[in-house]
Structure 1
Amino acid sequence: MDFEKAFNHLKNDKIMFFLISKFKKDITLTDRYESNYPKAISMLIIEQQVSFKAAITIKKRFLTLIKNKNTDEVLEIDDNEMQSIGISHRKVNYIKNTYLFFRENKIDFENLDENKVIKELTRIKGVGKWTSEMFLIFILFKTNIFSKGDLALINSIKVNYNISKLSDQKLDAFIKKWSPYNTIASLLLWKSIEEKVFYKKIR
């Protein structure tokens, strides 16, 4: 991905210019990449509705649990054993649904457009639009994805742009302005929340 080209486009927005000046060297897409798709989606399922810190701990335990196991062997892991590492019963089912889906379906995701990727992945019980969008960003490296359902992104916009109530119309205007680099805008907004560094606090 050509980050410089993306930064040059986004810096016309003064808040993005500020975030780029702060986090330019820290922005990457490869830190969460996983070539094994069911494993990648399982990691995203673990991240659903838990804190960032808790997700890191549980993902490490999950990777240890499934190390050197093929799809069939992962599916054979006892549900209670998965739950013992901090994965809820519901998410255990979602993870196994994911491995079953990829065992039974051979799909060339890299050559599908974004909407078709979302359509295919959301066939898996437990995989919704947010998880599919994170897959598009961190696994397929799509450059123009913005997840409207990501609360951290919405909160980052509200704080950085000093907006108390973010309407759909206003959000769509941001997405249009940042296109075709909404993914990079998202990375900057996430980093702002993670580091607690916001534009409005230095004005």
Structure 2
Amino acid sequence: MYFSYTDEEVEYLKKRDKKLAAAIEVIGPIRHEVEPEIFPALVHHIVGQQISGAAQRAVWARVREGLGEVTPEKILARGAEGIMPFGLSARKADYICDLARRAASGEFDAEALRGMSDEEAAEYLCRLRGVGLWTAEMLLTFTLQRRDVLSFGDFGIRRGLRMLYRHREIDRERFERYRRRYSPCGTLAAMYLWEIAGGALPGAADPAAAEKKPRAAKCAEGRKKGS
């Protein structure tokens, strides 16, 4: 299952921003997988915190293979020590078990999120241990498919903005200007920014990375002279 969007949303973004419009024309249609079930999706996002995409995929594959179905009951049956061998840190295993306990007891009502606004859902999710704003925003994006989510806390989105608009830095004030420009189609804009950050736009480079290279070269030269 993939994130769904309309031609009208694409055209809206094109009209709002010429540079993004040009990028969309080059990149073309995009497909980003979504996870429709809230509880396993939330576990998946906790698994992926602070690790690379490749590591997340590997650990998540072991979690799914080991549990069969990612449910509160199956997690609680194994406990934190039982799920750590899948590749989880003790802290993440504890967070996931706490989430499972709350879901099993009804303290956390995953389905209630569907009827909440973006702000209400993010606040509700952030009450959970191990869930911060970025994790909440990823759930809003890849499970609830909300239309106007652009995460300042996401490195890939900020990198995509730098590459598209040639900025060395994306501070909060500059980010908010783009967020307002893309609204109410911020989620689709985020999808394209992730594509750009991943190299889908030929010739686009990250000015922040380019700025670091001369410094690194200078340091290397200094080490060579000193050897």
Give the Cα separation in 1 of the matches to 2:62 and 2:195.
25
Give the Cα separation in 1 of the matches to 2:203 and 2:187.
19
Give the Cα separation in 2 of the matches to 1:34 and 1:65.
21
The reply on whether 1:112 has 2:105 as its aligned counterpart is no
Partner SS for 2:96: helix
TM-score for both structures, normalised by structure 2: 0.80
Give the Cα separation in 1 of the matches to 2:197 and 2:31.
13
The equivalent of 1:83 in structure 2 is: 84
Matches within 5 A, 1:137-176: 137-176=141-180
Partner SS for 1:77: helix
The reply on whether 1:25 has 2:26 as its aligned counterpart is no
The equivalent of 1:51 in structure 2 is: 52
Shift in CA distance, 137/70, structure 1 to aligned 2, threshold 3 Å: closer
Partner SS for 2:150: coil
Give the Cα separation in 2 of the matches to 1:79 and 1:108.
26
Shift in CA distance, 66/34, structure 1 to aligned 2, threshold 3 Å: farther
The equivalent of 2:213 in structure 1 is: none
Give the Cα separation in 2 of the matches to 1:22 and 1:101.
46
- Cα displacement (A) at 1:196: 5.0
Question: Counterpart of 2:36 in structure 1: which amino acid?
Answer: E
The reply on whether 1:135 has 2:136 as its aligned counterpart is no
Give the Cα separation in 2 of the matches to 1:63 and 1:32.
16
* Root mean square deviation, CA, Å: 1.8
Aligned residues: 198
Give the Cα separation in 2 of the matches to 1:160 and 1:169.
17
Give the Cα separation in 1 of the matches to 2:171 and 2:70.
46
- Cα displacement (A) at 1:68: 3.8
The equivalent of 1:122 in structure 2 is: 126
Give the Cα separation in 2 of the matches to 1:96 and 1:20.
41
8 Å CA contact 1:61–1:85 kept in 2: the answer is: yes
- Cα displacement (A) at 1:44: 0.5
Q: CA-to-partner distance for each residue in 1:1-38, whole Å, 9 max, x for gaps?
A: 4421111011131221133123332234xx12131x22
Q: CA-to-partner distance for each residue in 1:93-148, whole Å, 9 max, x for gaps?
A: 11112212222233511111111101111111001111111111111110001111
Shift in CA distance, 68/172, structure 1 to aligned 2, threshold 3 Å: closer
Give the Cα separation in 2 of the matches to 1:49 and 1:69.
21
Question: Counterpart of 1:38 in structure 2: which amino acid?
Answer: F
TM-score for both structures, normalised by structure 1: 0.89
Give the Cα separation in 2 of the matches to 1:14 and 1:139.
29
Shift in CA distance, 68/183, structure 1 to aligned 2, threshold 3 Å: closer
Partner SS for 1:26: coil
The equivalent of 2:10 in structure 1 is: 7
Q: Which has the higher contact order (CA 8 A, sep 6+)?
A: 1
Q: Percent identity?
A: 21
